[in-house]
């Protein structure tokens, strides 16, 4: 038996690369990106106190928001809600296909966020390398320090060594624990995926204002995809008063295996930086387990 040399191995992996046709840099995308305001850059160059900057940003934002969008500016107004000013926290609460989901995310760093999901009366919360299981009132935190569990968690035995708790315990194999100990941990989330997706689609310039409608009892602008865009036409409804997002319908793309969904925002607001709490700050009385394998097992158990 002969072993593959590195060159041979690399050639084989390279040959397995899915075909991607070469393309020149998208000039239209560059133009749309560089047309965006650079709030973050301006903020960093100022020497003013942070609180004054946030207050100024919020004041400017609210001034623009309460003017009310004309049809021609409805998309720009909506985009401001999806791309809030630097130094702020976007807070949303949505119900729909994904159940009920509440998100606080930093406008400066989407990886800094807290997500709360409510399923069947149980609260589950996710943060940066921490997850809260409401059914057990326990926060599982990743250490990323290569610490494996002490021994192997057996069914019915809690992996932190605390008293036994009822319910099924995930069976964590030694290999899983070792892998977890190598800090191969899930990424921090990158912001609310619905918000991120809509922001990208709006920024790409493929959206048009379909017209003014009544949606769920509210006076709204309906924004949808430009005809001819190579994707199913989703619809976003924003308040005709201030451009605040109200709801979205994504028909999905069954031919590409992409499911659709409906989202209705019951809260959508831009807050100061103090609004973003960690999972621990939000659940101060919960038990805390600092263990990479337990953290991974909790993510799997909670379907994240």
Partner 1 sequence: MDFELLYRTTYPKVRAYARSMAAEADADDAVAETYMTAWRRQADIPRGAELGWLIGVTRRVLANERRSRRRVGALRALLGRQPPLAAPDPASRIEDGELRAALLRLAPLDREAVVLTAWLDLSSADAARALGITPAAYRMRVARARRRLRADLRTETPLESPQWHTS
Q: Which of residues 216-235 bind partner 1 (CB under 8 A)?
A: 230-231
The residue within the footprint of partner 1, chosen from 137, 213, 219, 300 (CB under 8 A), is: 300
**What is the distance between the alpha carbons of residues 105 and 235, in angstroms, rounded to a whole number?**
24
Closest listed residue to residue 152, CA positions, set 130, 170, 133, 129: 170
CB of 240 to partner 1, least distance (A): 26
Q: Which of residues 267-296 bind partner 1 (CB under 8 A)?
A: 296
Task: Say whether residue 254 binds partner 1 (CB under 8 A).
Answer: no
The residue within the footprint of partner 1, chosen from 61, 95, 108, 277 (CB under 8 A), is: 108
Interface with partner 1 by CB under 8 A: which range of 33-41, 87-95, 156-164, 278-286? Answer: 33-41
**What is the distance between the alpha carbons of residues 143 and 172, in angstroms, rounded to a whole number?**
17
Task: Say whether residue 70 binds partner 1 (CB under 8 A).
Answer: no
In terms of CB distance, is 1 or 72 closer to partner 1? 1
Interface with partner 1 by CB under 8 A: which range of 157-165, 194-202, 215-223, 273-281? Answer: 194-202
In terms of CB distance, is 104 or 220 closer to partner 1? 104
Interface with partner 1 by CB under 8 A: which range of 66-74, 209-217, 250-258, 269-277? Answer: 250-258
The residue within the footprint of partner 1, chosen from 56, 58, 64, 98 (CB under 8 A), is: 98
In terms of CB distance, is 14 or 164 closer to partner 1? 14
In terms of CB distance, is 200 or 267 closer to partner 1? 200
What DSSP string describes 193-223?
HHHHHHHHHHHTT-EEEEEEEEETTEEEEEE
CA torsion 62-64-65-67 (nearest 10°) is 120
Starting at the edge strand that comes first in sequence, how are the strands of the sheet with 113-119 ordered?
Answer: 207-215, 218-225, 235-239, 245-250, 261-271, 89-96, 99-106, 113-119, 122-127, 130-133, 138-141, 287-290
Q: Which of residues 34-63 bind partner 1 (CB under 8 A)?
A: 34, 36, 38-41, 44
Instruction: Output the six-digit token pair for 285.
Output: 């009385």
Task: Say whether residue 179 binds partner 1 (CB under 8 A).
Answer: yes
**What is the distance between the alpha carbons of residues 298 and 302, in angstroms, rounded to a whole number?**
6
Are the beta carbons of 275 and 93 closer than 8 angstroms?
A: no
Helix (H, G, I), strand (E, B) or coil at 102: strand
């Amino acid at each position: 038996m002969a072993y593959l040399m590195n060159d041979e191995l690399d050639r084989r992996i390279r040959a397995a690369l899915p075909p991607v046709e070469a393309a020149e840099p998208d000039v239209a995308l560059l133009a749309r990106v560089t047309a965006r305001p650079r709030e973050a850059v301006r903020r960093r160059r100022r020497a003013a106190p942070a609180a004054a900057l946030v207050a100024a940003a919020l004041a400017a934002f609210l001034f623009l928001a309460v003017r009310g969008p004309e049809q021609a500016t409805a998309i720009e107004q909506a985009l401001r809600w999806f791309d809030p000013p630097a130094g702020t926290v976007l807070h949303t609460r949505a119900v729909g296909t994904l159940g009920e989901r509440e998100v606080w995310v930093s406008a400066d760093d989407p990886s800094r966020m807290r997500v709360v999901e409510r399923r069947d009366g149980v609260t589950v919360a996710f943060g940066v390398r921490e997850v809260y299981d409401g059914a057990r009132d326990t926060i599982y935190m990743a250490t990323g320090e290569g610490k494996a569990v002490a021994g192997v968690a057996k069914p019915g035995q809690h992996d932190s060594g605390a008293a036994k708790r009822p319910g099924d315990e995930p069976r964590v194999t030694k290999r899983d624990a070792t892998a977890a100990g190598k800090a191969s941990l899930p990424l921090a989330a990158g912001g609310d995926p619905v918000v991120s997706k809509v922001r990208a689609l709006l920024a790409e310039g493929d959206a048009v204002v379909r017209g003014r409608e009544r949606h769920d009892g509210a006076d709204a602008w309906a924004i949808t995809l430009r005809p001819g865009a190579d994707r199913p036409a989703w619809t976003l409804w924003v308040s005709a008063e201030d451009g605040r997002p109200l709801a979205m319908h994504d028909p999905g793309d069954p031919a590409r295996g992409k499911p659709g969904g409906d989202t209705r925002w019951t809260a959508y607001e831009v807050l100061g930086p103090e609004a973003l709490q960690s999972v621990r700050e939000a659940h101060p009385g919960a038990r805390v387990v600092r263990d990479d394998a337990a953290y991974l097992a909790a993510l799997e158990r909670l379907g994240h």
